[in-house]
Structure 1
Amino acid sequence: MGGAFSFARFGAVLIKEFIQMRRDRITFAMMIGLPIIQLFLFGFAINADPRHLPTLIDIADDGPLTRAILAGMQNSGYFDFIGPVGGTAAGEEALRRGDANFVVVIPPNFERDTIRGRNPQILVSADASDPSAVSGAAAALTGIVQVAVAETFEGPLRSLAGGAPPFSVAVHREYNPEGRTSTNIVPGLLAIILSMTMVMITAVAIVKETERGTMEMLIATPVRPFEVMLGKILPYVLVGYVQTIVFVTAAALIFRVPFDGSLWAFFIGFNLFILVNLALGFLISTAARSQMQAMQLSFFTILPSILLSGFMFPFAGMPQWAQWLGTAVPATHFLRVVRKVMLKGADTADVSGEFLALTIILVVISVIAMLRYRQTLD
């Protein structure tokens, strides 16, 4: 049909769309809420130059020079000293568990050997499984040493402050000595892949049944909410198994990522994580009324998994409130399991805390999902 443009018809369609937008509250909330969340996450929580990294110290010579060096490290903002450590073995264990990012070892007779020109060495052991968390702090050590020497040696010893430092600082990068980014990113990528696929597949599949009317037939049966949830979730566990096998094989053969830890610990961890994400997808399906809404809500949960879990940015470098939020994200704990097992040779005891956290999150999500599940259609 031809005819001139009608503002009345145009206005009617426009008003109709605004009314429809108001009724679709989930989509409207996503349009408003998602940009705000992204703004706060990228503006405050994301830090490509992490500071205040937990550091342990093993001091065998507590002289003025040692105190000046440690004060300079503390004032630089990169290192936060969380306490002493008793010996090399305890320091290595702290790095392996993830309790600290650095262990600083001051050798015996350090100051005396420095004055006598014996060039003693300070050892800084660093958890290089995340190279971005180590590089900035390690680069700052040169300037910290120069300032400490200049402030400590005065009078007849001032000559030691000129030229090269009278001692050396050796940075021992553990678990990723080559500093390869893929060694850190590839293990963490498994958490993101499983989050994206498991949550979205489950949510969309269940909502699709609701749209087609098959869910109404299921509701008419005596099937209980927990039985429905298990029946819908378990088939997709096999999908998660296939993804994990393909991923681990590619990581080893293509990217040369080591697998030094317990296979049993890895098996428990990824099974718990798969169940958590499938339960989350089931929970989303109870809130969504269309496949589009299910995809939108799934994306809403994936964003924190990428930004707050420590996948892209060091977890220890985020502000405290962001770390609290990240602790509630399942990917945070699974990512720690994968990196500890694959890169640090962890066993089940080393990651038992992460197992407990994933179990608690699974129980909470499952209970909420079952409470929201309705035996009758609205």
Structure 2
Amino acid sequence: MTSRSKNDSVYQAAKTTDSASGTCKRMPMVTIRDVAAMSGASIKTVSRVLNNEPNVRPEMRERVLQAAHKLNYHPNMAARSLAGRQSYMIGLFYENPSPNYVVNIQTGALDRLRGEPYRLLMFPVENFKEFHGKMIAIIRSSGLAGVILTPPLSNDPEIMDELDQSGVPYVRVAGTEPRPGSPCVAIKDMIAAREMTRYLLGLGHRRIAFLRGNPVHPASNARFEGYCYALQSAGIPIDPDLVIAGDFRFASGLEAARKIFALNPRPTAVFSSNDDMAAGIVQAAHEHGIAVPRQLSVVGFDDSQLASIVWPRITTMRQPISAMAYTATDIILNLLENGWNTEEIRNVELDHALIIRDSAGPPFLANVAEKEDA
């Protein structure tokens, strides 16, 4: 594995114009100490995060990356590439509020890059629509050899048009829209959600709430489609009151729970579009004295680490996020080694899996209500 030079930690200072003199001057250089101060991490930890080294807690890694982003702390990536006139930088672009998702994506990519001369650069995108028109400039300034896009960027035609113009190979993770000449790694979100809904139906549930993710993420819409398909196939009409808006964050699960608990009659099960929101519902149920799963079944999607930490452990649909990122990175490396040939572009579909744990069971609450009504 190519050793890192000290230049890997050199960061460029921005320039600005003095309004009084009209001259161009340098702004104070942002240093690693500034990132450490903002993130609350040690300088050594910040260096390890920026160099993509292991053994850093996920939450600390995310804090450091966010601090570096807020401070506009960009590495001088030219140092490593100048010697051989070849770029060894792969950019991973993401817009996802779930820290579990981001960590899994990063882990998968880094696992594949282990032993390779390439480094991974993480690019958080706060609003992908405001990102339009900036991709080529970022590729050039960062010296990227290849790009990995995660949702919703992996489905944005304007961003992909820019990448096509740049000539830089790119791979999409969880892209749902077909794109000629663009390799994609994904699962069948609609089918996976249909299977999860059918699992709840098989337990005896009929009044099943669905917590949606951010609608700009096509996978969220595909999961909702699977939920609707399963209910309609079972002869159960879609109740708009049982469809709750969310945004993939734990906090939106807490907020959605208040709406769900206020429904009369209350649903006997909740299918959340990801594990973070499902954990929020479980937490809110504890706070309201609602037993999970005896009084309310809760299921999620992703099989993140969080799903096996909370209690009860969450029944979920496994989306192999790390494996998807690993495979996407493998494709990028092959494209860089063998050339960008659109005729040989391949899409990869990975398997999903229902992971049954402790948060779902038969609808006992509904059975009690039916007996009382009789």
Structure-1-length-normalised TM-score: 0.29
Higher helix share: 1
Greater relative contact order structure (CA < 8 Å, 6+ sep): 1
Q: Which has the larger radius of gyration?
A: 1
Higher strand share: 2
